[in-house]
Amino acid sequence: MKGFLRSFQREQVTHFSRNSYETAFSVFMIAIAYFYRRNPLIVYPDALYYFVLLLGSNFIFNRLLHRRASVNLWIIDAVLLANIWVISGILYYSGRGDSYFWILYLLPIFASALLVSFTDVAGVLFLCSLAVFLLAWPVDPSDLVQVMGIFVKICVFGLSAAVVYRTAASKKAAEKNLLAKRHEVEQLAKELSEKDTAIAQTASAGELGELMGGIMHDLGNSVSVILLSAQIAHDDEKAEKKDLARIIKAARYAKSILSDALDIVRGQEYKFQPGSLKSIAESAVLLLDYTIKTKSASVTLAFPDDLPDLNISTVHMRRAFVNMLANSLSFVPERGKITVSAALAGNYIELEIADNGPGFPPALLKEGIKAFNTTRKESGGTGLGLYVCSRVMEQHRGEMALANSPGGGAIIRIKLPVV
């Protein structure tokens, strides 16, 4: 018995509305009925009364729908049946099978198709087709015009329902996909929150303070790239794909920083694998492309084709390149020049980043690279950029040194072992 009753249960439909097209359509048909009231097929004013009933009932129904968060499908089915009955009354008093108002049946057909319920659509199509057939009764099989007229009307009903049903189904699928994406974003936000909690729980105060300082510095670079590139794409009517690519790359870089930060505090610091220094340098230049253009600067990469790959942690090495280039860009003048060159020297790769800026201050060259030791506090410098680079090179069993060119400009020299 319970199973039998459950078969009659219908789901709740949220935000169902046939909008204003029904009202406009009904008003239009009322106007036609009025202007054609002297047509011998129309029984006036009976047909007009049914038009007013159709308009009034749909108006009241839509008003009630706007006040409810959801509506049971049985209620909607009852309204659709009422519409079919009222429309049949209009046709009865306007020529029955010869009435031009048969097109009004599209109202309940469209409404049922918008529900994306095959059962409702099939039921409404059957009732509307049956009404057209009965209103044309008696049907003379030898009257080809009458038979074809009924057939055309039923075909119009079916094709219209199919088009609206397919459109509504596509929209519903898109909304479902959007809901899934929204859930995915919420899940990612939750995971990020859990990662923050894990970092706080596994790192000591000293480790966390040193780590977070470096992370915030790198995230600042990435967020700046994202914001500036997004501003370019927003202001430019024809946004270039390279601006969008820069946003995506910077966002992924920021995400990788957060992900790798958790690995660092857990002791899983570096993931070494064969990698190309040239590719890493190119990706760092892409991230800083807007800053480079803002200063009209030029960055030249001079890497020999036969330069061997190194066993490196790509994320950390890219982080170092971004910081070193960002440091040079902070000091070079307008139209400044930065050169990144590499050469194989025995069992080492010697890397050099040189610019035509003012060079490093003597105090920095004397004291060496230390955390929070910066000469540009007035421009937001944290003193962590070069310090992070130095730590990265140490983890790669390499060396990093600062120097000034005799002709002016700063030089960062790095030695990395090939084996």
Is cis: bond before 40, omega within 30 of 0? Answer: no
Residues making up the chain, counted from first to last:
419
Rounded average pLDDT per 10-residue block, the chain, 419 residues: 45 48 58 64 73 74 61 72 82 79 80 76 84 81 78 84 82 76 69 51 42 56 66 61 69 66 52 90 80 87 92 85 87 92 92 92 79 48 69 90 89 90
Structural domain boundaries in the chain: 2-175, 206-417
Task: Return the pLDDT at 5.
Answer: 41
pTM: 0.41
Which residues is 25 bridged to in the sheet? none
From the number of C-beta atoms within 10 Å of its C-beta (0-12, 13-18, 19+), residue 158 rates as: middle
Task: Return the pLDDT at 270.
Answer: 73
**Contacts (Cβ under 8 Å, ≥6 apart) of 201:** none
The span from the CA of 125 to the CA of 10, in Å, is: 19
Asked: is 206-417 a CATH 2.60.15.10 domain? The reply is no
Contact yes or no for 109/125 (Cβ under 8 A): yes
Q: Tokens standing for 32? A: 């036609």
Backbone dihedral region for residue 383 (phi beyond 0: left; psi -120 to 50: alpha; all else: beta): left
